[in-house]
Amino acid sequence: MNRITRDAILGIDVSRDWLDIHCLPSNQRLRLPNSEDGHARVGALAKSACALVCFEATGGQEWRLWSALDVAGVATRQLPPAQIKAFAASRGTRAKTDRIDAELIARFMAFRPDAGRTLPHEKIRLLRALVSKRGQLVETRKRLLAQIKAHAKLGSDDLFDVMDGDLKDLLDRQIAGLEVRIEQIIASEEGLATTAAILRSVPGIGPVASTMLIAEMPELGQITGEQAAALTGLAPIAHDSGAMRGKRAIGGGRRPLRHVMFQAALVASHHNPVLKPFADRLREAGKPHKVIITAVARKLVTIVNALCKSRQKWTTQLA
């Protein structure tokens, strides 16, 4: 959210093996290996040019480079791929190569110097990895339970009973182990522990939702409520033109966080003393269930953002 300006910008397209680099304003291009040596050379180039280094989120390919540059004291930004894609379309760029992508990333950063995310500190990165792995295992367990039910309906459950039972026990132990490690990381740092306590004081926000908020939205408490809703993809997007008023919809944002907030909103819409009456009013007005849960989730995000900003726990008066 902080605007950063630099004399130069290095746009990098990160792949498994290579770093394709486009330098602005010189328009110099180069390719370096995605290795420790390549990372060191990028850091030296950025420091000599007083440059801001930017790259897309690539599912983890960029993390080693990001960490190395952070250690070297180089300013960096991770940019959303959807914004780069839209920027390319606005320029009429249809071709796609690593060199073209690197230039688009650099030019987008020059156009939007306030865009992107800075590197979270080490414990947030570790927390995010653990939360992501837990989510994968929970999804695997969910599919396994569905398969167990299907076997029972087909009468074939005896064939797989022992195998499915062992697999479920293994998944249960691994998920429990990850949850213990997550709690240990949060408890090991006063700031994270305080934030977790504030989040969990809100009716509807449990351990999973609070951990996901800490891991996926470290900006919480440092931004406005509208920005928090936008980051989670819960802000309504207008579709108006002239006299026509289109249907509002949500989209974008950080999808894993949005899904968890929907689950929290389901609980809050029935048990939160402030949000339950709000949800009831929407139901009485005939609003669809999805609209109600989305509205509750959006209010929940703005509430926890405000509480984190003031560093106060939930009370009905504060909400």
CA distance 156 to 76: 55
Q: Which residues make Cβ contacts (< 8 Å) with residue 305, sequence separation at least 6?
A: 220, 221, 223, 224, 225, 228
Residue 234 has φ and ψ, to the nearest 5°, of -110, 0
Distance of alpha carbon 149 from alpha carbon 242, whole angstroms:
53
Q: Cα–Cα–Cα angle for 80, 239, 88, nearest 5°?
A: 35
Nearest to 53 by CA among 82, 24, 16, 91: 24
CB 211 within 8 A of CB 182: yes
A 10 A CB-CB count for 155 gives: 8
Is the whole-model pTM more than 0.75?
no
Residues of the chain where predicted confidence (pLDDT) is lower than 70: 1-6, 235-253, 316-319
97 phi-psi bin (left φ>0, alpha ψ -120 to 50, beta other): beta
Q: Looking at residue 1, what is its pLDDT?
A: 38
Task: Name residue 212's amino acid.
Answer: M
